[in-house]
Amino acid sequence: METLATELLQELLRFNTVNPPGDERVAQEWLAGVLREAGFEVDLLGSTPERPNLVARLRGHAEGPNLCLLSHMDTVLATPSEWQRDPWSGDLVDGVVWGRGAQDMKSQTASEVAAALTLARSGWRPARGDLLVVCVVDEETGGAEGASWICREHPEKVRCAWVLNEGGGSVFPVGDTRNYGICIAEKGVFRFTLTVRGRAGHASMPGFADNALPKLAPLLATLAAARPELDPTDAPVGLMRGVGIEVGEDPAAALAELQELAPELARFVEPMLSVTFAPTMVQAGSKINVIPSEAWLKVDCRVPPGLGEDDARRRIEEALAGHDGYELSFDEEVVGNASPPEGALWDAIAGFLSREDPGARVVPTMLPAFTDSRTWRATFPECTAYGFFPQKDMTLYEMWPLVHGKDERIHTSDLGFAARAYHDIAKELLG
């Protein structure tokens, strides 16, 4: 399956699907043809003809719970001059495939499809339930035309009991032990704006005005440096327990212990444990010679699962204690989401890893960002959705800087490793 997954990935990388604008149709049509040839029923469904979502189904012999292998076809942009190789070349060099999407996430598409094709071409059909291969558009700009649209407009096409998606799976060593994370949770988004006001005037006579822009400076500096109180939830607590650290009544002490034990891992875990603030945009005025009467700061705020607007507001007000004269408004609110770290899908993943990498540990993780898993969890409350794209030759610490970065690439051995995982998990769950 490694060779098949590699060839599929190379072909997928050669389609430029940078979003915006996306232009995923040609890639989706090619992939649809590959799956139809192997016996899948394939639908291309979208809110516009240019951006169809692919839903492929391999029907089982009897009714039962469905397994969905989920991915997205769009990518973020790439600047060729910054790369060692053409981002849309799909070059294979010394066992490594290069291109935009080699990690996020055409690699997972390729491995999922390679597993599905291998199963279908062998004559296998699920004993119960259906195997779905779903490749959506528009994930990189929020999923309005992709996951959100398909789940709202055609829920019966994508209904399932289990989802395997992006967000976890890369190995991370702690001491002499190899650990694989299953992403069971994603933080919520509570983006907000701080607005300050003054009095406009001519820039040549600043003393006659009240410049709003400088009033943002202390708010910006405070939020950029803020470290809100920790709000530990199941996923990071389970991860830390998995590497031997108990999170008791003093989560800060537990984090300090992790920083001593595994400083690289601690950098990933720290944002899982609390509300985070990332000031990203400032605006004031529209003319160089006019002192602005209004200025605003936009902040990307991420919140652990289970916490809502009141919790976000409390942490913001705590961080800005001592500051006044600002107005707070929330611009986007998505509550964090999670699936339980137990059940048939968890057991199937753990079983595969115990066979493929004996002695390795399986631990829950959380994604500080979000993926299309949130849409499946919201649409189908009984669905278990995990982020799991296993890589054992490129560690978490090596692959993460490549996501949305230059020189994105992946080992072909990891493509084969992931394909074997999806192959074995599908057979175990569907019979």
* CA separation for the pair 249, 253 (Å, rounded): 9
Predicted pLDDT of residue 12: 98
Tell me what the pLDDT averaged over the chain comes to. Answer: 97
Predicted pLDDT of residue 16: 98
Q: Point out the catalytic residue in the list 24, 74, 130, 231.
A: 74
* CA separation for the pair 143, 135 (Å, rounded): 12
Q: Of 377, 371, 375, which Cα lies nearest the Cα of 403?
A: 371
- Residue 87: band (very low, low, confident or very high) from pLDDT cuts 50, 70, 90: very high
169 touches 176 (CB < 8 A): no
Q: Does domain 188-334 have CATH number 3.30.70.360?
A: yes
Mean pLDDT across 359-383 = 96
Mean pLDDT across 349-357 = 97
126's enclosing H/E stretch is none
Predicted pLDDT of residue 244: 95
- Residue 24: band (very low, low, confident or very high) from pLDDT cuts 50, 70, 90: very high
Q: Point out the catalytic residue in the list 139, 145, 186, 372.
A: 139
Predicted pLDDT of residue 404: 96
Q: Residue 85: exposed, middle, or buried by beta-carbon count in 10 A (0-12, 13-18, 19+)?
A: middle
Instruction: Provide CATH code, domain 2-174+337-430.
Output: 3.40.630.10
Predicted pLDDT of residue 132: 98
Torsion of CA 363, 368, 369, 372, to 10 degrees: 40
Predicted pLDDT of residue 139: 97
pLDDT above 70 covers a percentage of the chain that reads: 100
Residues 141-195: pLDDT tens digits? 999 999 999 999 999 999 999 999 999 999 999 999 999 999 999 999 999 999 9
Q: What values do phi and psi take at 394, rounded to 5?
A: -115, 120
Predicted pLDDT of residue 127: 98
* CA separation for the pair 135, 40 (Å, rounded): 14
* CA separation for the pair 338, 234 (Å, rounded): 9
Catalytic, 393? Answer no
Torsion of CA 350, 356, 362, 367, to 10 degrees: -100
Predicted pLDDT of residue 431: 95
Identify the DSSP state of 167: S
Instruction: Return the structure tokens found at 386.
Output: 């995990």
286's enclosing H/E stretch is none
Predicted pLDDT of residue 351: 98
Predicted pLDDT of residue 47: 96
Mean pLDDT across 74-84 = 97
Residues 194-203: pLDDT tens digits? 999 999 999 9
Predicted pLDDT of residue 119: 98
Residues 218-227: pLDDT tens digits? 999 999 999 9
* CA separation for the pair 97, 415 (Å, rounded): 10
- Residue 302: band (very low, low, confident or very high) from pLDDT cuts 50, 70, 90: very high
Residues 265-294: pLDDT tens digits? 999 999 999 999 999 999 999 999 999 999
Catalytic, 139? Answer yes
Between helix 344-356 and helix 412-430 the angle, nearest 10°, is 130
Mean pLDDT across 388-414 = 97
Predicted pLDDT of residue 243: 95
Mean pLDDT across 95-99 = 98
Domain extent listing, the chain: 2-174+337-430, 188-334
Predicted pLDDT of residue 273: 96
CA angle 47, 50, 53 (to 5 degrees): 55
- Residue 36: band (very low, low, confident or very high) from pLDDT cuts 50, 70, 90: very high
Predicted pLDDT of residue 280: 97
